[in-house]
Each structure stands twice: as C-alpha cells, then as structure tokens.
Amino acid sequence: METCMDAAGAERFALAFKALGHPMRLQLVAGLLNQECNVKHMTECLGAAQATVSQQLAVLRAAGVVVHEKKGNQVCYRVAKPWLRQLVRLVTRAQQED
C-alpha cells in the first residue's frame, strides 16, 4: 500500500462516515455548509420535529462532524472540519448530476 492510515485515524473517519450515513444527518450537514444555524431554523427547513433534529445533531456532535456554540439563548451549529465540508459538497454535486 502506498498510503497507510493508522488505526486511530481510521476509527475517527469511520465514525464520521457512519454519522453521515443517515439521510437526515446528511441533510443537516449539507444545510450547514454555507452558514451556521440553530435548531429552530433546521426544524423549519426539514419539516421535522425539534426532538428528532436534536437527536440527529447529538449523533453528529458525538462523531465530531458538527460543533455547537451558545449564542445568547440559542445554540448554533456548524460543520467541524474543512474536509467534511469538501466531502458533503462532493456528495451534493454528485446528487445533482444523477
């Protein structure tokens, strides 16, 4: 093998890919590509219950896909890493080509 990934790195990436493997979580991350957003806005955009969106965001946070920041009485989310932005943009483009 020309390029080798260590076990810890492979585990970290696998966790992120697993988190992105759910349709709603992928929609959430795609929606966060261009701007950070709060849960209320995400529920409105997806037409999903606040509890459902919060559960999916918790999975994304645990996997290191998104990070959150408290701003006043709101919690805003954003994509955690530049490589995740690139990956989801690539997937979004591929969907548009299908």
Tokens representing residue 91 in the block = 């997937």
Name the pTM for this structure.
0.88
Q: Is the pLDDT of residue 3 over 80?
A: no
pLDDT at 1 over 70: no
Where are any strands of DSSP class E within 1-98? 37-38, 66-71, 74-79
pLDDT digits (tens, 9 = 90+) for 47-65: 999 999 999 999 999 999 9
Domains of the chain: 7-97 (1.10.10.10)
Rounded CA Rg of the chain: 14
